[in-house]
Structure 1
Amino acid sequence: MTFIGQFPLPGSGVAMAYLFLGDEDGTFDLEAGGNAFLIQPGGRVPPFVSGEVRRTGPTLWRRGSDWFERQPVELRLDLKTPDETAVAAFERQVIYRDAALNGMPVEEDTDLHAVDCRSYVGGEPLFWQPWTPPEVDASWRFFLQLDGAEGWGEDAFALNFGGGTGYAFLSHDQREGRFCWDCV
């Protein structure tokens, strides 16, 4: 599996979640073993996660001079409060999604996916296919979502989410994590 990144967990203690993604089929599934969202210290390794202990391994990357060349990247990303335009666009997306899920007539908003508002921590997930969300037990809570990228042009890294978005969830005791992705 490829190491994607580490994310500090909320709360007073010092704990991190570590995201690993495989290159094979099944990374879109919460419990297929194609990815791992591991908590340390004191976390539990889910029974579907297996691997080997290694000092180094594949890491986050972006494309090189051609589509197939992989160049390792290291990034530090800081959270920032979104501007009013991004918040308004996100709220329109949530209203549109909720109306569609409840069978309510909605006016088509061609601007729904124009604003980049798909990577954030906290709040609620905004799935590409909200009518078929991942089956997460009610005791799990949404932690973050991470927009995929192709690693080409302006993209700082590559994540193979089929043009979609990845979603991380934490168990109620924050000792176990799950990760999946969704696309159109």
Structure 2
Amino acid sequence: MSQSPSSAPSEPQPVEFAPAAAPVREAVTKLGGQPVWLAEPQWPLSRATGAPMRFLGQFSLAGGGLGYLFMTGDDGGVSVDGTWDPEGGENALLVQPGGRLPGFVTVESRAEGPTAGADHLPRPAGEDGTDPDGHAWQFFGGPGIEPRWLQGEETPGDGWSLVVQLDSGRLPFPVDFGDSGVGYAFVAPDAGEGRFLWQCT
């Protein structure tokens, strides 16, 4: 069945992240640095090692909330499998304020911890942010914006909406999403919790 123009998915606008002039202390979308908590700090821990996950970034949500993205890194030379799994306990997208802590995530009360790099702020990428076919692989979600999957469709559930899609090749610091991988962050229909996963080629 064909979609009418009003219901067709919108074309996402490519985004990139540029170094911030100073540490970002506002509740805005950013990559790197330290989280700007809207409620009591909840730093997620790796299920495999118990060590604090690495903070990748925070993203503005509808209604004024933030989604905080974490993923287990290879700090200390320990490589952990399963960071691609949305409920494997090796990544977390936590929602504040008023979010629910998913059962597969363990946290500790700490405001700061390991980070993927220095603060970076978003800006439009223009044509430089698209592939040779003109498709964006790194962009924010929103009404009518659908993920661009590398592999099969893996939306966490009915009504879950895309927060951001991250292209490991266009990030300002190394992040292990596998071979030329892309990460996908989603929020539940009631915006009470989030999920993150990645796919690679």
What is residue 66 of structure 2 aligned with on the other side? 16
Could you tell me how far apart the structure 2 residues matched to 1:7 and 1:84 are? 22
What residue ranges of structure 2 are gaps of 5+ in the alignment? 1-52, 74-79
Q: Greater share of helix residues, 1 or 2?
A: 1
Is it true that 1:76 corresponds to 2:111 in the alignment? no
CA distance in 2, matches of 1:19, 1:143: 11
Note closer, same or farther for the CA distance 1:155–1:8 as it changes in structure 2 (3 Å cut). closer
SS in 2 for 1:77: strand
- Which amino acid is the alignment partner of residue 175 of structure 1? G
Whether the aligned pair in 1 keeps the contact of 2:54 and 2:115 (CA below 8 Å) is: yes
Write the letter of the residue equivalent to 1:48. Answer: F
**SS of 2:134's equivalent?**
helix
Note if 1:41 corresponds to 2:97.
yes
Structure 2 residue 163 is the aligned partner of structure 1 residue 179: no
Q: Superposition pairs for residues 121-140 of structure 1, below 5 Å?
A: 121-122=140-141, 123-130=145-152, 133-134=153-154, 136-140=156-160
Letter in 2 for 1:173: D
- For residue 180 of structure 1, report the CA deviation from its aligned partner: 0.3
> Structure 1: any 5+ residue segments left out of the alignment?
61-72, 91-116
The residue number in structure 2 matching 1:164 is 181
Tell me the CA shift for residue 118 of structure 1. 1.5
Residues 1:57 and 2:57 aligned together: no
Q: Which has the higher contact order (CA 8 A, sep 6+)?
A: 2
Q: Is the 8 A contact 1:30 1:134 kept in 2?
A: no
State the secondary structure of the residue aligned to 1:159: coil
After TM superposition, give the deviation of residue 135 of structure 1 in Å: 5.3
Runs of 4 or more above 3 Å deviation: 81-88
The structure that has the greater radius of gyration is: 1
Q: Hey, what does 1:146 align to over in structure 2?
A: 166
Secondary structure of 2:55 counterpart? strand
Identity %: 41
Q: TM-score, normalised by structure 2?
A: 0.62
May I ask how many residue pairs the two structures share in their alignment? 138
Please give the root-mean-square deviation of Cα atoms over the aligned residues, in Å: 2.3
> Partner amino acid for 2:148?
L
Q: Could you say which residue in structure 2 is the equivalent of 1:64?
A: none
Please give the TM-score of this superposition, normalised by the length of structure 1: 0.67
Number of the residue aligned with 2:45: none
**Residue of structure 2 in register with 1:113 after alignment:** none
Q: Which amino acid aligns with 2:196?
A: F
Deviation of the 1:121 alpha carbon: 0.4
| Mapped partners of 1:121, 1:161: distance in 2 | 18
